[in-house]
Structure 1
Amino acid sequence: MEISRHLPLELVLNIITCSLPASDAILPPSHDVTKLLLTFTLVCHETRRLANRYLRERCVYLSTSKRLSSYVSATKKELGLRNATALSLSPFGETIDDLHLCSWVRELFHYTCASLRRLVIDIPLRSLYPEDDHLAVRRVLREGFERLENLEEFVSTRDELYLEVTDDGRHPAVWKSWKKLRRVALYNVDLTFYFWQDVARLPALETLVLSRSDGNDESLDDWAEYFKFTARPFKLIMLGSERRRLVPDRLLSGRIKNRNEVVDVPMIRSVWLQHTIDFSVAECQEFVRAHAEEGTLWDLDHGTIPCNGRPYIDEPYLAQLGAHWLMLDERRRAWSAN
């Protein structure tokens, strides 16, 4: 009886699956796993089907204008490419002042908005301000990003997704309308009450990462805006800043003793990545991008990154009791902040 020298198809498919990194990483074209998946698209129908699925989930890495234009062109013929679920996008150089390139971004989101769940962008949106935008490229980009209503995870490494199209007044943050967002990372956010109002309107938010944020460290009124709309818990990680802010890491349903009774109040505490305070702008942005693409950004406070000391410091809690703001230390000792 002749013994087959071929591996069972089930085993081959399992090898493909086991080759993926343990973390939920987005892989560049140079990665060995990306090359392996491309090879398996040439073996047989079943390996091509599974490899293409993983390529759409893990390997859509558009880091040049050529890669972006090629991918957009291919989506017109290969409908399966429109089912990308994760994407790393950094096709621009020093400026966004390129109408063709911005139009490709808009077209990319037009084709992928129904399936796209994870997006990491490294785009210099502040390289061209509205008053200098003679080609209206900012409006083109905003139209594209507004379509991403199915996103669950979003990372902007260079700004807060700055997509203002005029310089007269504030436009609502585009990400505010993405109601499925669970994880968000933004750079250099101004921590005003507008921002906290927008955050409060994300019903599925679980984790927020803010790098090199700005704002008034002593004002509680801005952060209080969050409680005016919701008391939902979420985790917030602060990095790249020397100033310790009284903003939440994890909103907790806590109990605190008032003068006459014990009541339930929403409480927040911040987690501050102390070892990142000396990062330069470029180092901070690269740090966030690398961890976002590796799928480890959201667990930085769990000590998943190597460092000489403690990776984070717990800040005091912040709570609201009726009309009064209270600050509490880790022993729940309360005093008035007013």
Structure 2
Amino acid sequence: MSDIHADGAVPGFGIDAIHAAARRLTGHVVRTPLLSSPMLDELVGARVLVKAECLQLTGSFKLRGALNALLTLDEDARRAGIVAYSAGNHGQGVAAAARLAGCPAVIVMPSTAPRIKVDNCRWWGAETVLYDPGTEDREEVARKILDARGMTLIPPFDDPRVMAGQGTVGLEIAEQARELGLTPDTVLVNCSGGGLAAGVITALDDAFPGLANHIVEPAGFDKMARSLATGRVCANPHPPDGLMDALSGPAAGARPLAVLRHHDVTGLTVTDQEVLAAMGTAHRLLKLVVEPGGAASLAALLSGKVDVRGKVVALVASGGNVDPAVYREALAD
């Protein structure tokens, strides 16, 4: 992208932008807990710190980036309203942000999105427009609405304001770890377009230089890992048909990619079965309801995808908006 500098710097994004976002969001978002369990620690042989963003307003971290972006708009843009395209959690974040700011919102969602996410967007007062992910492009659907109504797009991840808002998750992890007297050695972050990963890793690398940074994606759909390996934006070959809809964005974000390439990031992948097992473990040991995509990092940890023995590990349980049938399956094991 033309605004990305040759050294990979993204204008409008960085540790200062993350701190500014934290000030902007104060009083509007939940400072979610950083949870631990001695039983979980024993299970993996490490001290595990789980950032429970599934307890965030709207049930995921997405409110942070959406509201940060919205609060930077001028009054005319807010009055005209905002548009988002989303598999569900970003849409809910934008819908809630719009309601908090008193402006209209339209959410473009795949027809395959879990019903709970569609219903929640509508509850917050947003208009929902469904599209067929197999035959239609979500950006084109959103563009038609933008052109017709003069609204402003709030992208799900490839935007410095959104990335900075998501980075406040990392600031809170750093503050809470220090309150516990702990210094994380390793961080695992669920990754779709990369906005959360870029924000959290930027914040934590600033607080704890030398961290081992890992992103976690669905097996067979590791578009960000492939993007990091090739240095160019990669896309999934087709829409994922598994359980991790929260990580099903079609392509990696160019700006998050530029940020992550300047950190020592390793890509990990997990399967649906590993994620279901992690959801069950989160329920038993942490008393958390976590959706499949939100449990990917915990799944990578529990399935031994990275050696963390003797370390302090931070990870983000990024969302908890799960269909009841899927959750029953997770708890059945």
TM-score band, normalised by the shorter chain?
under 0.3
Higher Rg of the two aligned structures: 1
TM-score by length of 1: 0.26
Question: Structure with the greater relative contact order (CA < 8 A, sep ≥ 6): 1 or 2?
Answer: 2
TM-score by length of 2: 0.27
Q: Of Structure 1 and Structure 2, which has the larger fraction of its residues in strand?
A: 1
